[in-house]
Structure 1
Amino acid sequence: MNQKGTLGIIDIGSNSIRLVIYEMDAEGAYRIIHEDKYAARLSSVVEKDGRILRSSLDTAMTVLQQFKATCDAFRTSRIHAAATAAIRNAANADQIIGWLEEETGLEIECVSGDREAYYGFLGVIQSIGLNDGYVVDIGGGSTEITVFRNRERLHSISLPIGAVNSHARYGNEDRWTESHIESLRSEIVQALSGQEWISQYAGLPLIGLGGTMRTLAKMEQKRTQYSLPVTHHYEISAAAMDAMYESMPQLTSAQRKKIPGLAKDRADIIVPGIIILRTVFELIQGDRYVVSGAGLRDGILRDLLAPFYPLAPTALEDSVRNFLHFGPVMPTDRLKRVYEDSLTLYRALYGKEPSPEDDRILYVASMLHGAGKQINYFRYSQHSAYWIMNAGIYGLSHRETVLSALVADYHPKKRTNQLLQKHKDILLASDDHHAHHLGSIVQAAQVIHRAGRISSMTATQKNGSLQMNFTCTAEPLLELKGLEDAMKDLEDAWKITSAYSILPASKE
């Protein structure tokens, strides 16, 4: 995929069939422009002899035909369809693929278990800024587990145990009995016996993919009245997951359907899903659960792009690049200078290099402070803050996301304090002062590069006084006009005095 256009990816899963359409650019930037799904539950139509009958595929064929028509409407230059566990584990897998291709005109990849694990891993490392962890992808008909260290995949395994087929085997009664819970747990333990790597890397996060993990995150967010309704990179403690694990099997299906955050069509399969998740967590001796909103489809996209475009050094840089590419026209070189001078001010005021967390916050706020202009120029910084918090910036924790938004839309006497109060469940107690420190820095750096007349800046701080020196290509009237107010805010935030001098650019 090395041309500008649209790309459709269809995931024929064991529980749901999903379509994602991406807008692509010749430089490798991309964004989602359409998404759809249908819960076909192919795992539930497998016969006792392991086959799937053609008559049982009527719904799937209709959905695929409709998805293909949608792709045609969006004029996709390519459609990549991939079938996972329900089909690959069927006794007549090749025949099923043939039937589907014949009826839909699609070319369908029957994804092996190892390949599915690879796609999931690839989606994760390009969307979450974690170097080590276990990726656990619970689907309707299988569960893939991968361990990675330093962002390299070490081991993977695919188990023919998923939420839908486990429910069919053990959960046909309204409530789950202890014997059924233990039977499913024992099946998982037995399937992983002999895989020594499963328990070799204790203390790593479990990064969960798929509907089970996203649903559990939504339930926990509703229960705690979490202030940021974003599941990607949301963290769930072991204690919170244990509480859901203990309570869910005891409820009837009707009772589960009333739980906030739990979609009614998942009220039955959420129980085997959480049993699988919790059992794997115990075996790997994980330290916490992390939700990934990216998975197999994102991995397929990455794999298609790989021959033509190198992977970004970090998930964050790639995400910001995509955002800027499809956002309002902004001079990227000037945005980078805002970031660089934010670092200069940070070093002068703190007397040290920024932590990785602060570096990410300064980077996002500097690069995306004008993103809201795509909605409306007036009050654009407020739109930028909303966009940062809700657009799904990869590579940031939720705390970093909120702080980045606060810093991009810094108003010390207005919205900053309101947002700090609104998101106190996500932020640290010290972030009240921290947001003002970082916000005042980025605000000053923005003003310095308002019109491009200041070519370079140095800054030093001694005995509570900040001295800035600007080298200018011409008289910086617009910059100095805004700098007066920005420096008042910086002085208030840092409890310092400030001064600046202007130097002409060298004529050499």
Structure 2
Amino acid sequence: MQEIQAQGRLPGEPVAIVDIGSNSVRLVAYESHSRAPTPTFNEKALCGLGRGVATTGLLPEDGVAKALAALHRFRVLCDTMRISDLRCVATAAVRDAANRPRFLSLAERAIGCKIELLSGQQEARLSALGVVSSIHGADGVVGDLGGGSLELTEVKGGQAGYGLTLPLGGLSLMDLSERSPKKAARIVRETLSKVKLLIGLDGRTFYAVGGTWRALARLHMRQRQYPMSVMHNYVIPSRDALEFARLVERIDADALLSIDSVSSARRPLLAYGAAVLEEIIRKANPKEIVISALGVREGLLFSELPPATQIEDPLIVSAREFNRLRSRAPEHAEELFDWTSRLMASTHLEEEVEDRRLRHAACLLSDISWRAHPDYRGAQAYDLVSNAAFIGVDHPSRAFLALAAAYRHLSNEDFVTPQSRSLVTARQLDRARILGAAMRVAYNISAAMPGVLPRAPMICDKGRVVLTLPADLAALSSERLQSRIRQFARLIGGDPEIRALVV
């Protein structure tokens, strides 16, 4: 454990995936092949390989040159990062092009490994697995919009169903419509009218994957002045998404608010992505649009994990990794979870399965900002958790975890802005306060070290909050500890008491 922390990384060899898409060629390196893979390097090149394929059947020469240069650069980067486990996949533009054999030969030479050409069904399935692996309880239809195609797959109960692929990628639509968004909308309408998969989406969730839809969501997020910058699991109510899609189709992209956050090479595709999204909403009537930052690459990693690893909770895995890398004594966090479990069971507060899951994660994250200056630990804890590369958690739950981590260091409300408060319910805010106050008591008696909390339980008993200290810890009953128990008791509705046992 100490060796791992000293090295500043988790055990396991790094892995990288190169995705040769119709619009971009991207390299993503991950710290290790785990249930919650953490990206350590992410770079893309917008090559436009799919431009013209729908009409000419050929990969454009300038796009091929850009892609080969990017692949050669990615090979050097992987060598620099000492990554030996490198996988490379190619999607719609390459599989649809007549000159793909020549391209694949040159590309494999440039990247230095075999390239797997995914079929439409394989691409759909892997994209859906990326969503299943990263969004807790995903239930609906996954749509992966690339430059050359749109893949649709139903997800439910942690499983990905049968997938299909449609020629509705942004570059394909641009070519087939002769750069007319109105004509593109008609093509989308006619194509989707035959898709039965969307019929069962009424009232459920549509999971949007792909760079163009992420760009649309980023604009929507900036327009709302949304208080969290994490894209994954960003939710847009369908009616709002429909109105925004119509706006993007109607006006010039450069006139959109915060358009500078979207690369100039992707801006021409926004109207076509909006047209596809609008028609899906009109035809299928989903309850909401949820943006997934994870797709084919993460789905590929997930598909290769053992079944026992696949069923692990990615949020708890991520939180445990943070705990191991940043806490003073990682074992203490699990003891804190057990300690608070006994405490919560003794209170009048109801705790659902999801409440317990989030409390577990909060305990694992409770000591990750200890290296900061004491005056800023609460603020740093909030920022670390709210912006961390977690998966398996929606934005309200992420905000709850960030608040609990901050309340663990602070008893005042100065750091709780109206924006951060807007992401959580009144119940979640109250639970964050209670959990944070309980953790403040726990850390005051344990000093973040294991072996203490199991011997010093705190429970609610007949209207009293009772902390019991064994004889050898009786000296811990200080004014500071009494103050922290009073703060907790005030939140829970009881009178504080410290019982020091005598030999």
TM > 0.5 between the two? yes
Between the aligned partners of 2:79 and 2:457, the Cα distance in structure 1 is: 55
Q: Find out whether 1:277 has 2:277 as its counterpart.
A: yes
Where in structure 1 are there 5+ consecutive unaligned residues? none
1:5-154 alignment to 2 at 5 Å? 5-24=13-32, 30-46=37-53, 48-52=55-59, 56-154=63-161
Q: Secondary structure at the match of 1:416?
A: coil
Q: Find out whether 1:368 has 2:365 as its counterpart.
A: yes
Between the aligned partners of 2:493 and 2:45, the Cα distance in structure 1 is: 57
1:303-382 alignment to 2 at 5 Å? 303-304=303-304, 306-307=305-306, 310-325=309-324, 327-328=325-326, 330-352=328-350, 354-373=351-370, 379-382=376-379
Q: Which residue of 1 aligns with 2:293?
A: 293
Amino acid at match of 2:346: A
Where in structure 2 are there 5+ consecutive unaligned residues? 1-10
- Relative distance call for 1:73 and 1:468 in structure 2 (3 A) is same
Q: Secondary structure at the match of 1:154?
A: strand
Structure 1 position 376, deviation (Å): 6.5
Q: Which residue of 1 aligns with 2:207?
A: 207
Structure 1 position 287, deviation (Å): 0.8
Q: Find out whether 1:249 has 2:249 as its counterpart.
A: yes
1:128-277 alignment to 2 at 5 Å? 128-170=135-177, 172-173=179-180, 176-177=181-182, 179-190=183-194, 192=195, 195=196, 197-256=197-256, 259=259, 261-277=261-277
TM-score, normalisation: structure 2? 0.88
Which range moved further: 457-466 or 222-231?
Answer: 457-466
Structure 1 position 181, deviation (Å): 1.9
CA contact (8 A) 2:141 2:154 kept: yes
Structure 1 position 10, deviation (Å): 0.7
- Relative distance call for 1:484 and 1:297 in structure 2 (3 A) is same
Q: Secondary structure at the match of 2:310?
A: coil
CA contact (8 A) 2:208 2:291 kept: yes
Structure 1 position 146, deviation (Å): 1.2
Between the aligned partners of 1:492 and 1:166, the Cα distance in structure 2 is: 61
Structure 1 position 457, deviation (Å): 5.2
Q: Secondary structure at the match of 2:389?
A: coil
Q: Secondary structure at the match of 1:389?
A: helix
TM-score, normalisation: structure 1? 0.87
Percent identity (aligned): 23
RMSD over aligned CA atoms reads 3.0
Structure 1 position 485, deviation (Å): 2.9
Which range moved further: 119-128 or 70-79?
Answer: 119-128
CA contact (8 A) 1:389 1:405 kept: yes
- Relative distance call for 1:473 and 1:387 in structure 2 (3 A) is farther
CA contact (8 A) 1:61 1:100 kept: yes
Structure 1 position 308, deviation (Å): 9.6
Structure 1 position 36, deviation (Å): 0.6
Between the aligned partners of 1:20 and 1:482, the Cα distance in structure 2 is: 48
Q: Deviations over 1:326-346 (max 9, x none)?
A: x22543332011112222222
Structure 1 position 449, deviation (Å): 3.6
Between the aligned partners of 1:8 and 1:245, the Cα distance in structure 2 is: 34
Amino acid at match of 1:442: M
Q: Deviations over 1:256-292 (max 9, x none)?
A: 4864644433221011112212322344431111111
Amino acid at match of 1:340: D
Q: Which residue of 2 aligns with 1:428?
A: 425
Of 369, 382, 395, the residue aligned with 2:392 is 395
Of 489, 494, 497, the residue aligned with 1:499 is 497
- Relative distance call for 1:203 and 1:187 in structure 2 (3 A) is same
Between the aligned partners of 2:153 and 2:314, the Cα distance in structure 1 is: 19
Between the aligned partners of 2:165 and 2:384, the Cα distance in structure 1 is: 37
Q: Secondary structure at the match of 2:57?
A: coil
Structure 1 position 502, deviation (Å): 4.2
- Relative distance call for 1:289 and 1:477 in structure 2 (3 A) is farther
Q: Secondary structure at the match of 2:162?
A: strand
Q: Find out whether 1:486 has 2:487 as its counterpart.
A: no
Between the aligned partners of 1:296 and 1:459, the Cα distance in structure 2 is: 47
Between the aligned partners of 1:462 and 1:415, the Cα distance in structure 2 is: 27
Q: How many residues align?
A: 492
